[in-house]
Amino acid sequence: MDQNSSPGAIDGISEPCFSFGVISDIQYADLEDGYNFVGTRMRYYRYSLHHLQGAIEEWNEESNHLFFVLQLGDIIDGFNAQYKVSEESLQNVLKEFEKLKAPVHHTWGNHEFYNFSRDYLRNSKLNTKFLGDQIAHCPETTPSENYYTYHFVPFPKFRFILLDAYDLSVLGMDQSSPKYQDCMKMLKEKNPNKELNNPQGLSEPRFVQYNGGFSQDQLDWFNAVLTFSDTNQEKVVVVGHVPIHPDASDDTCLAWNYRDALSIIWSHKCVVCFLAGHSHDGGYCIDTHGVHHITLEGVIETPPESQAFGTVHVYPDKMVLKGRGRVPDRIMYYKKEMAFLFS
């Protein structure tokens, strides 16, 4: 069957094991509509809050099966920092999320770091590590405080892992730290442009300031969790703000060391899907190892008459994304050798 489907193909199927919501790049600001960084796309800063309200209303109607929502990063726009209203805008968005009948897991994107330091985020309501699970007999699966990652099991044999795509970054960091200086050195070596958000002329256009990457420490942790999941015969969904597959994004919106993350995923059998935001047009591919990569369309570039969120229904043999507005429906079958493990 084609990976894309019409809405009719989804109707009438049996009850899912569980469902979860997905939304990305809300980028709320109390501002008139404007344009993106290069002046080519309209952004609906104020209306994005209305889109979120609409999403929450629909998710609450589905609350019998909706176990949680994934907020894939960029919850408020960087313009808030310019106008010194970051905390106020964040409170306005979180106030809407409080109306949700299910818990929300927050991912951190570049706009979080335009508005707040990493220390601030660690102590804020955007830190949802407390919703994570511990694997008591595997201490190597406990994440470090140096990056924002955790994993959780909403249903037996199904694990979600949140990654920190700005663990390597020049955003939100103490500029006197060795880590910041190493990242800035690498970025400038890869990007000689005066404006570090400009990918023009680069052979590797992902090396811009609004992207980031994964430290070796985080990748080792990620590998340890996937090793446990393989042994435990689990299915895994990986979540991060920045896409890690070039076929599911444009070439400027990719993690700096996306190949390192992919090679770890491909060395394990358990991963079924990678969910990202960041690239507002969205994207999708199924890679050579049968892993589905979904990049969710951004709320911020969604006109008032449309929408941009989805609900994923999880079945023993597949996940079904029921999109709204700009987000298309998709049926994503697991690799054949995995389907029986969840039956």
Tens of pLDDT, residue by residue over 6-64, are 333 444 458 899 999 999 999 999 999 999 877 889 999 999 999 999 999 999 998 78
In this predicted structure, the answer to whether residue 207 has a pLDDT above a threshold of 80 is yes
Confidence (pLDDT) at 267: 98
Query: Could you give the number of structural domains in the chain?
Result: 1
Residue 7 lies in a domain: no
Instruction: Tell whether the torsion through CA atoms of 11, 13, 19 and 25 is positive or negative.
Output: negative
- Domain presence at residue 343: no
Mean pLDDT throughout 52-79? 95
Give the percent of the chain with pLDDT over 90: 87
Rg (CA), the chain: 19
Return the residue matching tokens 């070439």: 251
Helical H segments across the chain, by residue range:
7-10, 48-61, 79-82, 86-97, 110-115, 118-122, 178-190, 216-231, 258-266, 336-339
pLDDT of residue 2: 42
25 token code pair? 């790049």
Asked whether the predicted pLDDT for residue 5 surpasses 70, the reply is: no
Q: What digits encode the pLDDT tens for the residues 124-157? A: 999 999 999 998 888 899 988 999 999 999 999 9
Question: d(Cα 133, Cα 330) in Å, to the nearest integer?
Answer: 29
Q: Is 172 exposed, middle or buried (0-12, 13-18, 19+ CB in 10 A)?
A: buried
Range of the domain at 122: 18-333
**Domain membership flag for residue 116:** yes
The 8 Å CB, 24+ separation contacts for 262-267 are 262/287, 264/219, 264/222, 264/223, 264/226, 265/226, 265/238, 265/289, 265/291, 266/291, 267/223, 267/226
Inside any domain, residue 6:
no
Those residues with Cβ within 8 angstroms of residue 240's Cβ, 6 or more apart along the chain or in another chain: 107, 162, 163, 164, 165, 255, 261, 274, 275, 276
Residue 90 lies in a domain: yes
Strand partners for 286: 292
Q: Does a structural domain hold residue 341?
A: no
Query: What does the pLDDT look like over 107-116, one tens digit per residue?
Result: 999 999 999 9
What CATH number corresponds to the domain at position 319?
3.60.21.10
pLDDT digits (tens, 9 = 90+) for 295-306: 999 999 999 999
Any domain includes 175: yes
The answer, yes or no, to whether residue 339 has pLDDT greater than 70, is: no
DSSP-assigned letters across all residues of 143-212: PPTTS--EEEEEETTEEEEE--TTSB-SSSS-TTSHHHHHHHHHHHHH---SSTT--TT-SSTT-STT--
Q: What percent of the chain has pLDDT over 70?
A: 94
Residue 189 maps to a domain? yes
pLDDT for res 337: 64
Question: What integer pLDDT is reported at residue 336 of this predicted model?
Answer: 75
Instruction: Please say whether the beta carbons of 278 and 239 come within 8 A.
Output: no
